[in-house]
Amino acid sequence: MTPAQKLIALLVLIVLLMGGSAAGAWKVQGWRYGQQLAEQRRLHADDLSAISSAAAAQVRSDQDKRLALEQRLSASDQTHHEALTNAQKDQARLRDRLATSDLRLSVLIDAADSASGCSVPAGTEAVGLVHGGARARLDPAHAQRIISITDAGDRGLIALKACQQYIKETNMNR
């Protein structure tokens, strides 16, 4: 082997050693980088798991609040429905008593008011326990109209109370 060949062989050997060490270093860096990526993936998965758990807990909390609100509103609705039903029953009984002449509505007459010019005959004072001045009986048809007006007013007041209770309940949960 000539010195030139030895030199070439030495250079080839140096290049092979440099290439081998570079390939080895490349391989070691790849493993390290792979380990870093694996660690980042694991940390990312842990973060996602924690976020998912927190979101699920928030959803459960919101569902529990909603269920509690629905139960309170249902109880409130039942209470107002009962009040409305009772008011309607009372109004129906009152209308029935007026229709059968079991009950007569009357109004108090101001005897001192001469400007009214009303010559409505006063009701009989001897029947019943009427305290105060003279009274005049209302026509049954007019009494029925008055009862229907008060019935509508009662229903309106009950509905208003239900709406106010609903607003109060829903605002309380915000």
Domain that holds residue 145: 88-112+124-174
Of residues 133, 130, 107, 102, the one with CA closest to residue 120: 107
Quick check: is 130 in a domain?
yes
What's the pLDDT tens digit per position in 49-65? 999 999 999 999 999 99
Quick check: is 158 in a domain?
yes
Quick check: is 136 in a domain?
yes
**Polymer length in residues for the chain:** 174
What's the pLDDT tens digit per position in 103-149? 777 777 776 665 555 555 554 444 445 556 677 877 888 888 888 88
Percent of the chain with pLDDT over 70: 86
Quick check: is 11 in a domain?
no
| Higher-confidence position of 102 and 111 | 102
How many distinct structural domains can be found in the chain?
Answer: 1
